Amino acid sequence: MAEPSSFPPPGAAAELEEGSALTPKFDADGLVTAVASDAASGEVLMVAHMNAEALQQTIATGEAWYFSRARRALWRKGETSGHTQRVVELRVDCDQDAVWLKVEQEVAACHTGRRSCFYRAVPLGQKGRAVKLELRGERLFDPKGADKKP
């Protein structure tokens, strides 16, 4: 595992947005938001978080590392389940507080056994409190023993 390390501090908006230096804007908990999508289909697979070390490990290894907020621990995606993510391309957003990973996902991203964590659709055009979700994804594996969602 890499030693704890850091990126240069974020500058003003113009530098953050138009500069060529990676200077992530970590939040009060030291995290940026990470969105992983399927490099082939474009399907969004999951939303998670990275601390500086997770981001550096992802950059160094080309595999997706995250930081589990629940477990307060660095986490290589798939380290227990085998459902790893090979990063095809990594992007950072305008204000450098979010990253987007295009990945090749082994089997399934979601700890419930579905390919994507976003396996339920919210019907549009409703105004009430009670919104009924519609299932969109099927289970690809038995969730017992898989990565726990942080």
Among 5, 12, 138, 144, binds a second copy (CB under 8 A): 5
CA distance 127 to 131: 9
Structure tokens at 2: 């890499």
State the nearest-atom distance from the C-beta of 83 to a second copy, in Å: 14
Among 46, 50, 54, 103, binds a second copy (CB under 8 A): 46
Structure tokens at 34: 């990470």
Is residue 140 a contact point for a second copy (CB under 8 A)? Answer: no
Contacts 24+ apart (CB under 8 A), 77-85: 77/109, 77/147, 78/106, 78/147, 79/147, 80/145, 80/146, 80/147, 81/107, 81/111, 81/145, 81/146, 81/147, 82/106, 82/107, 83/107, 83/108, 83/109, 83/146, 83/147, 85/36, 85/45, 85/109
CB nearer a second copy, residue 47 or residue 73: 47
Q: Are strands 32-38 and 98-105 parallel, antiparallel or unpaired?
A: parallel
State the nearest-atom distance from the C-beta of 87 to a second copy, in Å: 6
State the nearest-atom distance from the C-beta of 61 to a second copy, in Å: 8
Is residue 3 a contact point for a second copy (CB under 8 A)? Answer: no
Is residue 94 a contact point for a second copy (CB under 8 A)? Answer: yes
Among 25, 30, 35, 68, binds a second copy (CB under 8 A): 35
Binding-site ranges for a second copy (CB under 8 A)? 2, 5-8, 17-22, 33, 35, 37-38, 41-44, 46-47, 56, 59-60, 62, 87, 89-95, 98-100, 110-112, 114, 117-127, 129-136, 149
